[in-house]
Structure 1
Amino acid sequence: MSSRLPLIALAVSAFAIGTTEFVVMGLLQQMAADLDVSIPAAGLLVSGYAMGVVIGGPLLAMATARLPRKTVLLVLMGVFIVGNLLCALAPNYETLMAARVIASLAHGSFFGAGAVVAGHIAAPGRRTQAIALMFAGLTIANIFGVPAGTVLGQALGWRSTFWAVTVLGIVALLVMARYVPRLEAMPPPRLGEELRRVLKPQVWVALGMTVFGFGGVFAVFTYIDPILTHRAGLDEHAISRVLVLFGVGATIGTLVGGKLADHRLMRSITLLLGALCVFFLCFATLMDSPAGAVVGVFLIGVLGFAANPGLQTRSMQQAHDAPLLASTLNQSAFNLGNAGGAWLGAAMLSHGAIYPQLSYAAAAVTAGGIGLTLLSAWMERRGLREAAAC
């Protein structure tokens, strides 16, 4: 059997997960009005999902460590389907928040288990390409899934978007059940040993780099719907087209950032986070112009995602002896940044802040990521000096 069908099934699953994670931002005002809550409260639906990933990822990774990977994938996709079905049926804000958390529980562990499966079914010499194909589903979700979900939600109501994601999840589940092979039994991970290895200070500094380096993006981007309509004066129906630009920018940023990180890892992270910090300071003014806001959304994609490959590499580099927990903790770190950024924006707006001030706050959060990057580099140099002295 060709390895393409199971990889396509994994990519479709990743596409569904990426769509449901980010689509709330394109429907924020509609959901707030329908649920009779404020825009900051609706923005916390992003934080709720992200915190589910933060907490659920490591716990589910450890709980399912001894199960066959195909079984894990099918169970997690089942949880994802149930969560999105509950989102579509949610009668109120509180139920929707709980449903978002349920849907998110599958996120971190799915990509950890999916990477293992993709690597094992890949043709010889194509392991990295196979894993990249699975993760491409997330990228495509930003380019097509989120804008399409926004258009669907604007036309038929936000619940229709979650119905569509539910159907997509069912399709992915059936294709995985049919085409993903049952791998030969693998030795179970030594969780106690992995836990000891991820307690190293450099691992936590690297995870902190990810949290702060990515957190600023969501302090602004969570509220991009009202920013584009209230500040830039764009029509609501233009939002989906602008979100396509964000997805294209995120793809470009990820590819360019990956090449830069391969060349000089820590220097590239520092420079890219520095460029992002400067951009946020400028975006506070740009968002009042339609053209400036549209260009700004594209640049949020480029600069906001350019450092991600380097941040991911740094986390994996420092926790290389704990592959199971390293992969899930890294997903948790990115989503803790998502949750913290969205929460910060909600708290500021609830206390009377205006949207340009969110951009200044995002710059401050990103500056924290730069500081942790410099600290990590210093700790590494000190460790090398001490090793040489011995």
Structure 2
Amino acid sequence: MGGLFIGTGEFVSMSLLPDIAKTTEVSIPAAGSYITAYALGVVVGAPLIAILAARWPRKLLLIALLALFALGYTTSAIAWNHPSLLIARFISGLPHGAYYGVACLVAATLVGEEKKAQAAGYVMAGLAAANVIGVPVATWIGQMMGWRATFGALAVAGGVSMAMFWYFIPTIAKDEHASPTAELAGLKRVQIWLTLATASIGFGGMFAVYSYITPTLTEVSGFSIEQVPMVLALWGLGMIAGNLIGGRLADRALTPAIFYIMVWNVVFLAFFSIFSSSSIATLITLFMVGCGFALVPALQVRLMNVAGRAQTLAAALNHSAFNISNAVGASLGGWAIAAGWGWASTGWVASALAVLGVMLMSISVLVERFQSRSSS
């Protein structure tokens, strides 16, 4: 539920942007700064909260993060001008990365060692479900009652989630070895940085395609603008399937699963460019591309395994890495289109980024084996 609401809040502001711009009396391009402010909050909040709250009991930390989420959306709903909404969107983004990271750690704690990736997949399935359920419902509320009602509803949802967390999640003993110093010391581990680099670059292909999916669907694949939400919902269903299946694969054999999923992404992101002129082939391909979201829980568990005592910081930084991949993918996809390669060229850019991800993961594994031999 937490993943669903936080994911909905992240994406719905994009669909409500024209109305928000009109209310705050700025242009739509200027209103894009609200999205930037949120992303900045994610990047700043993830490591900062992970370090400062390192010794907090994780159940209490999750509830506090949801309280911060509710505060951010309450201030967003009552913001009176452009600067105040910028500040509110920054506050709303602060708990994002830390929430998903800590939630995956808590979920993994509640199951056996052999089901850690599945547990992380369930958490991230909430984010995937936001694209299928949360965003359409929140957009409808915004269209019927205004964007302030949407943000207000999300604030209430945050409060409801806090109550559910308090009641349903058992008390989890805090890690007595955890401390800000231990979390920061974890940054010396090269495997953390290689895994984060794999996420930042290797997953950028998803966003290279997603950022420009609407004009590609309407200009190349032959869909009407009214059909685009249906197509995006199909992608979202693929994301949910990917989280659930990917978690099971990762629990059976983590490193091979990461490579299999990344090769899957290389192939189907390229297929997007090849088959984008066919509407039926595009639907099939986009569902398969959505399944590539299975990489998220797999990389999350790898970070848990290599982070040592820097569990909270590493888990939170994983979601900062995915926000970096968003910026990388969107920028490179935009450059390809601006260069005159066409809307469908984003698939080739995406596939190339996935190839780079495979290379980075290969380096990570080779370094890991070298370190293992040296220590023995």
TM-score calculated relative to the size of structure 2: 0.81
Question: Structure 2: how far apart are the matches of 1:337 and 1:192?
Answer: 28
Matched to 1:361, the amino acid is V
Q: How many Å apart are 1:350 and its aligned residue?
A: 6.7
Task: Give the alignment partner of residue 182 of structure 2, picking from 193, 213, 224.
Answer: 193
User: What SS class does the counterpart of residue 203 from structure 2 fall into?
Assistant: helix
1:219 aligns with 2:208: yes
CA gap 1:325/1:92 in 2 versus in 1, 3 angstroms: same
Contact kept, 8 Å, 1:234 with 1:290, in 2: the verdict is yes
Q: How many Å apart are 1:168 and its aligned residue?
A: 1.6
TM alignment of 1:1-390, pairs within 5 A = 12-24=1-13, 36-38=27-29, 48-69=37-58, 71-88=60-77, 96-114=85-103, 135-153=124-142, 160-176=149-165, 187=176, 189-303=178-292, 305-345=293-333, 354-388=342-376
* Same amino acid, percent of matched pairs: 37
Q: How many Å apart are 1:368 and its aligned residue?
A: 1.5
Gaps of 5+ in 1: 1-11
Q: How many Å apart are 1:328 and its aligned residue?
A: 1.6
Matched to 1:79, the amino acid is L
Q: How many residues align?
A: 373
Contact kept, 8 Å, 2:125 with 2:244, in 1: the verdict is no
Q: How many Å apart are 1:78 and its aligned residue?
A: 2.8
Question: Structure 1: how far apart are the matches of 2:31 and 2:278?
Answer: 25
Matched to 2:7, the amino acid is G
Q: How many Å apart are 1:382 and its aligned residue?
A: 2.4
Gaps of 5+ in 2: none
Contact kept, 8 Å, 1:273 with 1:307, in 2: the verdict is yes
Contact kept, 8 Å, 1:46 with 1:342, in 2: the verdict is no
Contact kept, 8 Å, 2:17 with 2:28, in 1: the verdict is no
CA RMSD, 1 decimal:
3.7
Question: Structure 1: how far apart are the matches of 2:84 and 2:341?
Answer: 28
Q: Deviations over 1:194-225 (max 9, x none)?
A: 32233122221111111112121112213333
Contact kept, 8 Å, 2:6 with 2:96, in 1: the verdict is yes
For structure 1, which segment, 260-269 or 98-107, has the greater mean C-alpha deviation from structure 2 after superposition? 260-269
Q: How many Å apart are 1:105 and its aligned residue?
A: 0.5
Q: Deviations over 1:258-308 (max 9, x none)?
A: 3333344333322322221232222124334433333333222112x1222
Q: Deviations over 1:47-85 (max 9, x none)?
A: 553442232111012222344545533432232123234
Question: Structure 2: how far apart are the matches of 1:143 and 1:60?
Answer: 29
Question: Structure 2: how far apart are the matches of 1:60 and 1:151?
Answer: 33
CA gap 1:316/1:119 in 2 versus in 1, 3 angstroms: closer
Question: Structure 1: how far apart are the matches of 2:115 and 2:373?
Answer: 36
